[in-house]
Amino acid sequence: MIKRYAVLAMVGAVMSAGASQTAAQRLSGNVKVDGSSTVAPITMAAAELFQSEQPRVRVTVGISGTGGGFKKFLDQRPDLRTDISDASRAIKGKEIERARNVGVEFIEIPIGIDGIAVMVHPSNDFCDHLTVRELKRIWQPGSAIASWNQVRAGFPELKIKLYGPDADSGTFDYFTKAVVGKERASRSDYTGSTSDNVLVQGVAGDRGSLGYFGYSYYEANKSSLKLIGVDNNNGNPIRPSIDVIRGGTYKPLSRPMFLYVNKESYNRPEVKAYLDFFLTNARQIVEHPTVNYVALSSDLYNLAKNRLNAGKAGSAMEAAKGKTRDLVEIFRDH
């Protein structure tokens, strides 16, 4: 069974100080969040905790994938738009152009770090790691690899079944760029889904499986999955963990995660309160054992608060493209 979001026990640990029942009764309304399946554990946990403080505010979190989430965030009809978009990659130029065309100003805030997990079936006793070259050969467009013995000498003649995010997923975009070398370049004959829970079930249920998705979903289902290491073509396989991802050595599959906030929505008190609650308690939420991602530095969360409070619209990641990749510098300078 898929395990996720049993987070109420952490309420006392992460509640922001000074909240009062009187304040809780003053707020009401709805906050609509949608987007990345990878990011969803974070915003769902934050929503559950926030609603214990503000019970009259309803926060809904959908899972449409990063790309699908941006489509809802930037819908032509204002009444159908979401307030916040979960994203496991930075917004793309074409999405920024879409925002301009439909008149949506957005505020970009970083929220945490993920390490994309590569997994096989738990009965797999022959594969403990794969190189990036091997992953590329398996996943590249037109790949003819159909059996594990075609991946590496000594592997058995066992049909390989592939599971991964679909084309609406930011994880798909990131993995294909990092592994294959070109964003969205992937073989198409695999089982794809926007939902990481569907991928968990696929990998866990097929003896010849190989799949990839956000690290949080491995941690939530580790008894039914086998995590393998990734060798960045240097002879040093790295198996991700929270400490490894935090240390920055899990390359090339570590990546930042973001929230995109409709600037007009942020003017509503219930949306502002939800985001203030989240950023005040971000480290405890992002790194809680039921969520299992890596929190950012206090400097970055303060920069995120400042961007929201100043209403600083636009994408710092897009402005810094091709320049420095340090997140603190990006969000300080842009």
Identify the structural domains of the chain with CATH numbers, from first to last.
Answer: 11-113+256-333 (3.40.190.10), 117-247 (3.40.190.10)
**330 closest CA partner among 287, 297, 283, 292:** 297
Radius of gyration (C-alpha) of the chain in whole angstroms: 20
For 6, 11, 196, 240, the CA distances from 2, given in Å and listed in that order, are 12, 22, 10, 21
Buried b (16+ CB within 10 A) or exposed e, 26-39: ebebebbbbbbbbb
Q: How many whole angstroms separate alpha carbon 14 and alpha carbon 236?
A: 38
Distance spanning both ends of the chain, measured CA to CA: 44
Q: How many whole angstroms separate alpha carbon 104 and alpha carbon 78?
A: 9
Which positions ≥6 away from 219 have C-beta within 8 Å?
Answer: 289, 292
| pLDDT at res. 325 | 72
| pLDDT at res. 25 | 54
Angle at 109 between CA 104 and CA 112, to 5 degrees: 140
Q: What is the pLDDT along the chain (334 residues), one digit of tens a residue?
A: 334 444 444 444 444 444 444 444 589 999 999 999 999 999 999 999 999 999 999 999 999 999 999 999 999 999 999 999 999 999 999 999 999 999 999 999 999 999 999 999 999 999 999 999 999 999 999 999 999 999 999 999 999 999 999 999 999 999 999 999 999 999 999 999 999 999 999 999 999 999 999 999 999 999 999 999 999 999 999 999 999 999 999 999 999 999 999 999 999 999 999 999 999 999 999 999 889 999 999 999 999 999 999 999 999 999 998 777 789 999 999 9
